[in-house]
């Protein structure tokens, strides 16, 4: 019988952490890193002889990257870090906190789970100073403050989690040679995108490839579409009301946005293979139409991870590229960005744990990972030239230019909705049900768990 054990038994045996120390990836004082932030932090924080237990979601290659950053905290403070993870980290953190054996700092990508831990009194507030720091130092700072703010056991809202390592979803992928051959230009506004779609159809071409298949998670790519369109149709406050169900799922505003998705996904001329292919095509296969000869489609809206499923040897920036999923040129909605990320929070309040949050404020805590791979940050104080490749830098610029950032809405909703009826409802929608009918059924499922 498999069961999840507390950290001391199940995890530390798998990950030796940093107790044995490791060489620093980049030599302090060399290169274009913000070493002043490192030196200033080191001068103010001494945790010699102390151990800091950090629990996070990163394993394999990502764990090595995370530990390359944690090594600088060790170097600066004299503390010893034990980093641990688990294949079932979502369940493990609940077990450990409820058993009274939490890590000092936990890092998770699920705001809903963090709220659950906060509600039970397992997480310590980070304070108004850190909340203001996010406002002042992260692009679209109020967004990040809001993402880290939760309702405590006393019913009051406070900052409990610090956003760190972000993913961007508001991207449209394309093949530059295809655009050049057809004489198309990258659209800069929603209005430009609509005009481009119309031009493609007039030319006998198909604008989009969309695939919603994903095994037991079939339907989730459509939820990202709806979330992105919500941010491009209504102010971020409406998005917040929607994902919290303060505004019902069957509100006319939500129905309107679902129908905007339908204007693409339920229009044969708009999607490769026609409407019937949308729900039947696996999301991993859907971008391949970009690379067909002749192209089966010209655009594919998907998050930063999708190149994993491009043909072998595809060079990003040459064979394929991306642009920001454009926002309206008219109105005052700015440049919203949809994404996800991880958040660090304190589950055992020690001086070293508090110091670790302060460490995450330093540019060096971001630049070390930036200069390698797979890391984006909204920290406005970093040197963006340090990004490990031009693709990351371009994504990082999108993040820094955002006027609003919002976390993936389905991840913020109760699992029965966000990873349940919202997914299946989108499949029902592209299969023929009306937006009103689907939205009503999703709201019924939300009411059932209240």
The CATH 3.40.190.10 domain(s) of the chain lie at 11-168+339-407, 171-336+409-449
| Closest C-alpha among 408, 419, 113 to residue 243 | 408
Separation CA 366–CA 260 (nearest Å): 37
- CATH of range 171-336+409-449; options 3.40.50.920, 3.40.50.2300, 3.40.50.620, 3.40.190.10: 3.40.190.10
Q: 């005009």: which residue's tokens?
A: 195
Find out whether 126 and 163 touch, Cβ atoms under 8 Å. Answer: no
pLDDT (0 to 100) of residue 369: 98
pLDDT (0 to 100) of residue 22: 53
pLDDT (0 to 100) of residue 8: 37
Separation CA 297–CA 299 (nearest Å): 6
Q: Which residues, 6 or more positions from 161, have their beta carbon under 8 angstroms from its beta carbon?
A: 111, 114, 123, 126, 147, 148, 150, 343, 344, 345
Separation CA 224–CA 91 (nearest Å): 25
Give pLDDT tens digits for 150-179. Answer: 999 999 999 999 999 999 999 999 999 999
Q: Which residues, 6 or more positions from 300, have their beta carbon under 8 angstroms from its beta carbon?
A: 172, 173, 174, 208, 209, 210, 286, 287, 289, 290, 306
Q: Both tokens of residue 91?
A: 């369940």
Helices marked H in 382-434: 390-400, 409-412, 415-416, 422-430
Helices marked H in 209-295: 220-231, 236-244, 252-265, 275-280
Q: What fold, for 11-168+339-407?
A: D-Maltodextrin-Binding Protein; domain 2 (3.40.190)
How buried is 439 (Cβ within 10 angstroms: 0-12 exposed, 13-18 middle, 19+ buried)? buried
Helices marked H in 45-154: 60-77, 89-98, 111-119, 128-137, 141-147
| 339 sits in which H/E element | strand 336-346
Weakly modelled stretches of the chain, pLDDT under 50 = 1-21
Separation CA 94–CA 75 (nearest Å): 31
Q: Both tokens of residue 107?
A: 């890092």
| 174 sits in which H/E element | strand 171-174
Residue 290: DSSP 8-state: G
Separation CA 160–CA 115 (nearest Å): 9
């Amino acid at each position: 019988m498999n069961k999840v054990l507390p950290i001391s038994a199940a995890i530390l045996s798998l990950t030796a952490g940093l107790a044995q120390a490791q060489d620093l990836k980049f030599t302090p004082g060399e290169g274009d890193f913000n070493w002043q932030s490192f030196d200033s932090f080191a001068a103010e924080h001494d945790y010699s002889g102390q151990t800091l237990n950090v629990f996070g979601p990163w394993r394999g290659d990502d764990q090595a990257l995370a530990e390359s950053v944690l090594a600088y905290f060790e170097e600066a403070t004299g503390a010893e870090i034990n980093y641990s993870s688990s294949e079932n980290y979502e369940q493990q953190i609940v077990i450990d906190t409820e058993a009274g054996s939490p890590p000092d700092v936990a890092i998770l990508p699920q705001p809903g789970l963090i709220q659950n831990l906060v509600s039970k009194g397992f997480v310590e507030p980070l304070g108004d100073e850190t909340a203001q720091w996010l406002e002042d130092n992260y692009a679209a700072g109020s967004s990040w403050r809001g993402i880290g703010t939760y309702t405590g056991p006393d019913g009051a809202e406070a900052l409990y989690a610090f956003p760190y390592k972000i993913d961007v979803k508001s991207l449209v992928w394309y093949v530059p040679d295809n655009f050049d051959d057809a004489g198309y230009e990258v659209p800069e506004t929603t209005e430009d995108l609509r005009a481009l779609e119309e031009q493609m159809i007039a030319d006998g071409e198909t604008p989009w490839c969309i695939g919603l298949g994903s095994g037991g998670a079939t339907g989730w790519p459509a939820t990202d579409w709806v979330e992105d369109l919500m941010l491009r149709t209504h102010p971020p406050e409406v998005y917040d009301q929607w994902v919290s169900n303060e505004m019902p799922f069957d509100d006319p505003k939500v129905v309107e946005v679902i129908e905007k998705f339908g204007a693409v996904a339920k229009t044969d001329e708009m999607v490769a293979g026609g409407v019937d292919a949308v729900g039947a095509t696996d999301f991993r296969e859907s971008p391949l139409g970009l690379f067909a000869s002749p192209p089966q489609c010209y655009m594919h809206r998907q998050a930063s991870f999708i190149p994993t499923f491009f043909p072998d040897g595809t060079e990003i920036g040459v064979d394929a590229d991306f642009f920001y999923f454009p926002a309206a040129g008219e109105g005052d909605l700015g440049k919203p960005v949809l994404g996800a990320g991880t958040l660090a929070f304190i589950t055992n309040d020690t001086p070293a744990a508090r110091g670790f949050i302060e460490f995450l404020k330093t540019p060096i805590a971001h630049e070390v990972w930036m200069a390698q791979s797979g890391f984006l940050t909204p920290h406005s104080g970093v040197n963006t030239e340090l990004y490990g490749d031009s693709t990351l830098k371009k994504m990082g610029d999108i993040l820094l230019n955002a006027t609003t950032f919002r976390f993936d809405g389905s991840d913020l909703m109760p699992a029965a909705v966000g990873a349940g009826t919202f997914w299946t409802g989108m499949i029902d929608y592209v299969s023929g049900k009306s937006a009103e009918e689907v939205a009503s059924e999703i709201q019924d499922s939300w009411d059932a768990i209240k």
